[in-house]
Amino acid sequence: MKWLEMSTENCTIQRTLDVVGEKWTLLILRDAFNGVRRFDDFRRHVGLSEAVLADRLRKLVAAGVLQTVPYQEQGNRTRNEYRLTRKGRDLWPVLVALRQWGETYAADPEGPVLDIRHSDCGAPVHVVVECSGEHAPLTPAEVSVLPGPAARPRT
């Protein structure tokens, strides 16, 4: 059977895109991988409306990509932080691949905004999610993300 003859109803790419295939969702995940946890921080940094952000976060929690963890600052009501689950952390290579593709084909002329490197040896991390030294595949906890030459202060 040829590809054009096959049904794509149960295509895993399509099913994955049903969960994470929307621009704002990928930007929320980008921020979650870089330590953003709170609703207001996502809203300010990603720059989308409260309604859209609430909808995307709800969908990511329902899909098991994020989980809510309650926190309470003194004098305020209990609120939720959003943390990546194992299922969410498993999307890390996808975002690394998108970033790498973007640095090749849609880069800022000044260079990368983020410089993703292996924490232990300092070598750059590539789409294969291995450092350029002789290390096994890496997890997000094993790399350092630092501002690159094109990083600008937020105004």
**Residue for token pair 């905004």:** 113
Question: Identity (one letter) of the amino acid at 5?
Answer: E
C-alpha separations of 123 from 14, 15, 25, 132 in Å: 34, 34, 29, 6
Structure confidence at residue 130 (pLDDT): 75
pTM for the whole thing? Answer: 0.79
Structure confidence at residue 117 (pLDDT): 93
**Residue for token pair 């290579």:** 93
- The residue extents of the domains of the chain are 3-89, 92-147
Per-residue pLDDT tens digits for 79-132: 999 999 999 999 999 999 999 999 999 999 998 888 999 999 999 988 765 788
pLDDT-derived band at 13, boundaries 50, 70, 90: confident
What's the CATH number for 3-89?
1.10.10.10
Per-residue pLDDT tens digits for 49-78: 999 999 999 999 999 999 999 999 899 999
